[in-house]
Each structure stands twice: as C-alpha cells, then as structure tokens.
Amino acid sequence: TQLLEQSPQFLSIQEGENLTVYCNSSSVFSSLQWYRQEPGEGPVLLVTVVTGGEVKKLKRLTFQFGDARKDSSLHITAAQPGDTGLYLCAGYNFNKFYFGSGTKLNVKP
C-alpha cells in the first residue's frame, strides 16, 4: 500500500485568510492529483502535477509537487466561503490511484 498522509485533517478559517494543505508520502509517484469534494457528490479533479518541482496555479489556488515527487502542497490565497469542502490528494502509480485521507476546509464569512 502506498500511503498518502494529509495535514491538517480539519481547518476552519475566516474569509480572506490564506491556508496551506500538505500531502506527504514515503513513496514516489508518477503524478499527483488534487480533488475537491462537496457533500453528497463525488470528488472533482482540480489539477494534475507530473514533474518534480512543478507549480500550477488555478486562480487563487497554487499547487506544488515536491522535487522528489513524494509530496505536494495546496495553497489557497484569500479563501472564500465557496472554497469550503473536502480536499483530497491522490498519487498515481501503475495504473492505480492512492488517496490521502482528506482535509476538511470550512471558510466562514
């Protein structure tokens, strides 16, 4: 089993604050994905990072893949209530996806 640990598990912040979510593993992955899941729905893909050190930006979200391709971070700038949800990272190897346990984010107005 290729484990992915996410931290923090829960995060409750005020609108306008910045935050970072971490996804760490001892395994090397071919790629790493971040998903967002809302209650009553399945996860939706936000981004895929492939190259060690790769940084991708999606509006106020910045994703980084570690140089060794074992870890990743998601940074949200000026969080908004619409960012509330469960954020999942998933590592990809040998045609399978391995999911982290998730970070539950609540952004209060």
**Interacting residues with another protein (CB under 8 A):** 1, 4, 6, 9, 30-31, 33, 40-45, 48, 50, 88, 90, 92, 95-102
- Indicate the residue among 40 and 82 with the shorter CB distance to another protein: 40
Give the integer Cα–Cα distance in Å for 48 and 33. Answer: 4
To another protein, the closest distance from the beta carbon of 34 in angstroms equals 12
Rounded Cα distance, 91 and 84, in Å: 23
Q: How far is the CB of 97 from another protein (least distance, A)?
A: 6
Q: State the amino acid at position 39 in one-letter form.
A: P
Amino acid letter at 103?
A: T
